[in-house]
Every structure is written in structure tokens, then in C-alpha cells.
């Protein structure tokens, strides 16, 4: 499995031809420039990576975004080709100046990153996101360390829910994980799931690019057949993947 990181400074107009018409419409409709740039980089990076894997021009990688609950166009993006189910799954995340894409073969994947230095009311957020045992574990940390400990648990939880394809539709408190200073493990699943998911692997990551500092991140994989999962972290700057995109014309 590969996890790619890019900085917000990777956004430029040359990436727009890589998007499909729906994505370009969402890009144009996004008001804030930073949000527009994050969306552009996330879409372009996803299409470039998947296009390389599938042997397709990035703009022709068939994706669909359908919410499993309401049918709206805001669900987790997935490949939409005959036989693509179970082939590759991917997850996009962004926070502040950093954007990430994880791609996994043969299993569901979820990726999350949070700004290490972003403003967080830890006491308030913890009461909303953590179950009582998780909150008790967080309070064992010295006050200066609680923000980092909370963000570690938060990224793990969001990664798992993204791998499930439900995002924050299920309450974070109903997904209980091991303490942040221990090996990440799911201790109990939300009651809203039709059945407990198969084998789940959570890996803590540090998201960083030459243009950004380190940020806490996590990737979760559900249904991977092996007992070990190798996670390869890659940076766009290492390959200049977004610096000179190839524009394919039919």
C-alpha cells in the first residue's frame, strides 16, 4: 500500500485538465482559495496515481462519489469500472497545508491527517469524540501532552470510519480504540454497523513534505488478507508527480 503526501503549494492551473467535469464543477464552486487548492490537489493526485496503476490517462480514471446513506454526490470516491470492486481502493485527506492519498489493493482503506499546530479545544473535542475509557486514558497524560495524544486517537478513528465508507455519519464515541500510546487496535465497533468488519489494521503515520512540518496521521485497512501490511510513504516532491502533469487528449 502506498501513501502519497503533497503540499498545498502543489496546486496550479495545469492540474485542471486532469479532473472530470463533475470535479471541475465542484472546484469552480468552492469559494475559499485554500479549500479550492486542496480539492484540486487531492483530485489530481488521486487520478495520477490510479491512472498509473490502471494504465489510463488520469482524466479517464472512472470514479464515482455516492453517499451510501442518502445517495448524494459526496460519498467516498471509488473506482467505477466493471470488475473494479476489490481491485483498488483509495482515500483522500487534507488538513491545512498538507494533502494525502492512500491506495490499497484488495482491501478498503481510509486515511486521515490533522494539523499538529492547529487550534483545538482538546477538553471539548475529547468529550465529543472519545468514549469514557478513552477519555480516562487521555487524562493520564500530562496536560502539555494531551493535544498530541488526542490527535493520535482522532486520526486513528477517522481513518477507520473512512475505510468503512461512512465518514463521520457514525458517532466517533461509538468506535472505541486502544490508548494512543499503545498499538492501535479496535476494541469495540459502533452498533450502527450491519456486522463487525473483517480484519482491521491501523498504522500511525507522520505526514510531512519539504514545504510543511510533521503532522499526525493514520491509515486504516479493512479486509486485508495478509497478517502484515507494508505501508510505503511517498512524497510528491520526490518524483515531481504534480509539477508537469501529462495531459492526454482523445
Residue pair 8/98 in contact by the 8 Å Cβ criterion: yes
Mean pLDDT of the chain: 86
For 156-173, letters b (16+ CB in 10 Å) and e give bbbbbbbbbbbbeebebb
Residue bearing the bigger pLDDT, 87 or 71:
87
CA dihedral 98, 47, 220, 132 (to 10 degrees): 50
Rounded to whole angstroms, the Cα distance separating 64 from 100 reads: 19
Q: Quick one: pLDDT band at residue 111, thresholds 50, 70, 90? A: very high
Q: Which pLDDT score is estimated for 245? A: 45
Q: How confident is the model over 148-174, as a mean pLDDT?
A: 89
Lowest mean pLDDT among 45-54, 207-216, 217-226, 238-247: 238-247
Cross-strand pairs, 108: 222
Above 90 in pLDDT, residue 233? no
Q: How confident is the model over 104-121, as a mean pLDDT?
A: 92
Half-sphere exposure of residue 193, counting CA atoms within 13 Å on the CB side? 16
Cross-strand pairs, 92: 101
CA dihedral 237, 205, 201, 220 (to 10 degrees): -60
| pLDDT tens for each residue of 129-152 | 999 999 999 999 999 999 999 999
Most confident residue range from 29-43, 74-88, 229-243: 29-43
Cross-strand pairs, 179: none
Q: Which of 174, 175, 196, 195 is nearest to 185 (CA)?
A: 175
DSSP 8-state code for residue 222:
E
pTM (two decimals): 0.90
Q: Which three cell numbers stand for residue 168?
A: 463521520
Considering all CA atoms of the chain, what is the largest pairwise distance in Å, rounded to the nearest integer?
60
Query: For cell 483522500, what's the residue?
Result: 92
Rounded to whole angstroms, the Cα distance separating 133 from 217 reads: 22
Residue pair 202/155 in contact by the 8 Å Cβ criterion: no
Amino acid at each position: 500500500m502506498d501513501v502519497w503526501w503533497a503540499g498545498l503549494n502543489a496546486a496550479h492551473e495545469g492540474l485542471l485538465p486532469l479532473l472530470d467535469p463533475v470535479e471541475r464543477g465542484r472546484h469552480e464552486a468552492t469559494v475559499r482559495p485554500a479549500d479550492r487548492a486542496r480539492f484540486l490537489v487531492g483530485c489530481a493526485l488521486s487520478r495520477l496515481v490510479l491512472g498509473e496503476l490502471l494504465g489510463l490517462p488520469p482524466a479517464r480514471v472512472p470514479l464515482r462519489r455516492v453517499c451510501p446513506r442518502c445517495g448524494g454526490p459526496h460519498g467516498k470516491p471509488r473506482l467505477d469500472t466493471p470488475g473494479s470492486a476489490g481491485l483498488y481502493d483509495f482515500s483522500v485527506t487534507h488538513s491545512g497545508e498538507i494533502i494525502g492519498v492512500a491506495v490499497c489493493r484488495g482491501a478498503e482503506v481510509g486515511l486521515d491527517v490533522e494539523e499538529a499546530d492547529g487550534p483545538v479545544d482538546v477538553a471539548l473535542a475529547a468529550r465529543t469524540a472519545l468514549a469514557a475509557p478513552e477519555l480516562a486514558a487521555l487524562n493520564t497524560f500530562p496536560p502539555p501532552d494531551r493535544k498530541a495524544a488526542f490527535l493520535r486517537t482522532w486520526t486513528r478513528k477517522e481513518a477507520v470510519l473512512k475505510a468503512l465508507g461512512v465518514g463521520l455519519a457514525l458517532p466517533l464515541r461509538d468506535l472505541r480504540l486502544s490508548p494512543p500510546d499503545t498499538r492501535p487496535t479496535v476494541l469495540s465497533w459502533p452498533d450502527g454497523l450491519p456486522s463487525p468488519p473483517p480484519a482491521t489494521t491501523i498504522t500511525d503515520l507522520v505526514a510531512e513534505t519539504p514545504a510543511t512540518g510533521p503532522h499526525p496521521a493514520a491509515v486504516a485497512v479493512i479486509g486485508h488478507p495478509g497478517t502484515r501490511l507494508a505501508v510505503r510513504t511517498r512524497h510528491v516532491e520526490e518524483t515531481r508527480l504534480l509539477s508537469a502533469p501529462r495531459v492526454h487528449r482523445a
